[in-house]
Amino acid sequence: MDEQFLVLLIDDNPINAQVLEGYMAGLPVKIITARNGLEGLNLARKHLPDVILLDVLMPGLNGFEVCDEIRFNPITGNIPVIFVTSSEEIKKDILSQPHSLPDGLLFKPINKTDLLIHIRSLMRLSATRSKMQQEIDYLQNYCRRLETTASSSLEGLSKTEEMSILLLANLAEARDPSTGEHIHRISKYARLLSEQLLRISPDLQQYITDSYIDSLVMAAQLHDIGKVGIPDNILNKPGRYTSKEMQIMKEHVIIGGRILNSAISLYGEKSFLSMGMKIAMYHHERYDGTGYCEGLTAQSIPLCARIIALADVYDAMRSKRIYKQAMSHDDVRKYIADDKGKYFDPLVVESFFNFEDEFKNIFDQTSV
pLDDT at 228: 77
pLDDT tens digits, the chain, 368 residues: what are they? 446 789 999 999 888 888 888 888 888 888 899 999 999 999 999 999 989 999 988 888 988 899 989 988 878 887 889 998 877 666 666 656 655 678 788 888 888 888 888 888 888 777 766 666 666 666 656 555 545 554 444 444 455 555 655 566 656 555 555 555 788 889 999 999 999 998 888 888 888 888 899 889 988 988 888 887 777 777 777 777 888 888 888 888 988 888 888 777 766 665 688 888 999 999 999 999 999 888 899 999 999 999 999 999 999 899 887 667 889 999 999 999 999 999 999 999 999 999 899 999 999 887 65
Q: What are the extents of the domains in the chain?
A: 5-123, 167-366
Secondary structure class of 41 (helix, strand, coil): helix
pLDDT (0 to 100) of residue 76 = 87
Q: How many C-beta atoms surround the C-beta of residue 184 within 10 A?
A: 15
Tell me which residues are annotated as active site: 227
Angle at 146 between CA 143 and CA 150, to 5 degrees: 140
Q: Is the pTM of this model over 0.85?
A: no
Helices 14-23, 112-149: crossing angle, 10 deg rounding:
70
From CA 93, how far away is CA 95, in angstroms rounded? Answer: 5
SS3 call for 336: helix
Q: State the pLDDT at residue 45.
A: 92
**Architecture in CATH for domain 5-123:** 3-Layer(aba) Sandwich (3.40)
Q: Which of 118-123's residues contact partners 24+ apart within 8 Å by CB, and which partners?
A: 118/51, 118/82, 119/5, 119/7, 119/24, 119/27, 119/29, 119/51, 120/27, 122/5, 122/50, 122/51, 122/80, 123/1, 123/5, 123/27, 123/29, 123/50
Q: How high is the pLDDT of residue 288?
A: 93
User: Among 19, 89, 96, which Cα is nearest to 56's?
Assistant: 89
CATH of 167-366, one of 3.30.420.40, 1.10.3210.10, 3.40.50.1100, 3.40.50.10320: 1.10.3210.10
Distance, CA of 235 to CA of 216 (rounded, Å): 26
